[in-house]
Amino acid sequence: MTADTPKTADPRASKGTVLVVDDNMDLVRGIGMLLNNAGYRVVALSSGALVAETVAMHKPDLVVLDVMMPGVDGWEALRRVREDPANEHLCVMMLTAKDGEEAKVRGFTLGADDYLTKPFSLKEFRLRVDALVRRSRRASTQPEDRLPVVSGSATELLDPMDIVYIEGIHNYTYVHTRDGRFLCRLALGQMEDRGMPGFMRVHRSYIVRLATVKAYHWSSKSAFKLQMDDAAHTKLPVSRTLVTEVKSRLGRG
């Protein structure tokens, strides 16, 4: 591989964690590959019996739960998940071969957030997963976790999940989203001191959200760059002393 060849960031440096529960392992493998390629970490189960325990252990952002399974079915697994108050903001998508109104009503009554009938479009499935993970993460974000930014003449609170990277220029700090830039009243050091999960200071001038690193590469023998997943495909430098740690946190040694 040459110095100019980008290297895709490992999916384990993910946009979130999805627990997939289905006794059809071919379907689980297919969904797992789709979600891994989309940047998600996937945990899989073939039975509903251990769903609640697995949720407690892995703290997923979304559970994709098949209804028709031997032993503990999806309905019972959903009921057990919703019994725990800690799962209040956890989103659950039910998968089933039944397309009747009665089944959908039952699922929503038990606490499901979405309902997809088999067979389904993988594109539609991916879009629904993206929407549910965003909802789950926004719901679990506390107001004190949000960053104060200047928008026009007012101050707004920006959800960390909307941030791609944070930039320090002289005495100013700018927060970059996928398609915008906002002035922030906090200094870069204050940002770092907040200890925001999933963020890392990679350079004296930059803090990045690791899940938004699309690729990385050596642009020369002495310059390591991250390509960010924003509209401009921004490339950011990494301090040489941090290259090994950055690659490790992105899932590649």
Which ranges in 72-181 belong to alpha helices (H)?
A: 74-83, 101-110, 122-140
Residues of the chain with pLDDT > 90: what percent? 43
Is the per-residue pLDDT at 185 higher than 60? yes
pLDDT band (50, 70, 90) for residue 144: low
The label of the residue with tokens 């997809």 reads 116
pLDDT (0 to 100) of residue 3: 43
Q: How far apart are CA 216 and CA 236, in angstroms?
A: 9
Is the per-residue pLDDT at 145 higher than 80? no
Residues of the chain with pLDDT > 70: what percent? 89
Q: Which helix (H) or strand (E) holds 243?
A: helix 243-249
Q: Which has more confidence, 142 or 37?
A: 37
**Token pair for residue 134?**
């965003």
pLDDT (0 to 100) of residue 5: 44
The ranges of the chain annotated as CATH 2.40.50.1020 are 144-249
The ranges of the chain annotated as CATH 3.40.50.2300 are 7-140
pLDDT (0 to 100) of residue 45: 92
Contact yes or no for 205/188 (Cβ under 8 A): yes
pLDDT (0 to 100) of residue 1: 38
Is the per-residue pLDDT at 22 higher than 60? yes
Tell me which architecture the domain covering 144-249 has in CATH: Beta Barrel (2.40)
pLDDT band (50, 70, 90) for residue 4: very low
**Measured torsion, CA atoms of residues 82, 84, 90, 91, in degrees rounded to the nearest 10:** -10
Which of 12-16, 58-62, 143-147 is modeled with the greatest confidence? Answer: 58-62
Using one digit for the tens of pLDDT, what is the confidence trace for 152-184?
767 788 888 889 999 999 888 999 998 889 998
pLDDT (0 to 100) of residue 88: 85
pLDDT (0 to 100) of residue 9: 46
173 forms beta bridges with 168, 184
Q: What is the mean pLDDT of residues 195-224?
A: 91
Is the per-residue pLDDT at 8 higher than 50? no
Using one digit for the tens of pLDDT, what is the confidence trace for 29-80?
999 999 988 888 899 999 899 999 999 988 899 999 999 898 899 999 999 9
Q: Which helix (H) or strand (E) holds 96?
A: strand 91-96
Burial 75-104 (b: 16+ CB within 10 A, else e): bbbbebbbeeeebeebbbbbbbebeeeebb
Q: Are strands 206-209 and 154-158 parallel, antiparallel or unpaired?
A: unpaired
Q: Which has more confidence, 58 or 224?
A: 224
Q: What is the mean pLDDT of residues 86-109?
A: 81
Q: What is the mean pLDDT of residues 220-227?
A: 92
Q: Could you tell me which of 210, 214, 192 has the C-alpha nearest to residue 248?
A: 210
Q: Which has more confidence, 248 or 64?
A: 64
- Torsion angles phi and psi, residue 99, rounded to 5: -110, 15
pLDDT (0 to 100) of residue 108: 80
Strand, helix or coil for residue 122:
helix
Q: Any idea which fold 7-140 has? A: Rossmann fold (3.40.50)
Burial of 25 (0-12, 13-18, 19+ CB in 10 A): exposed
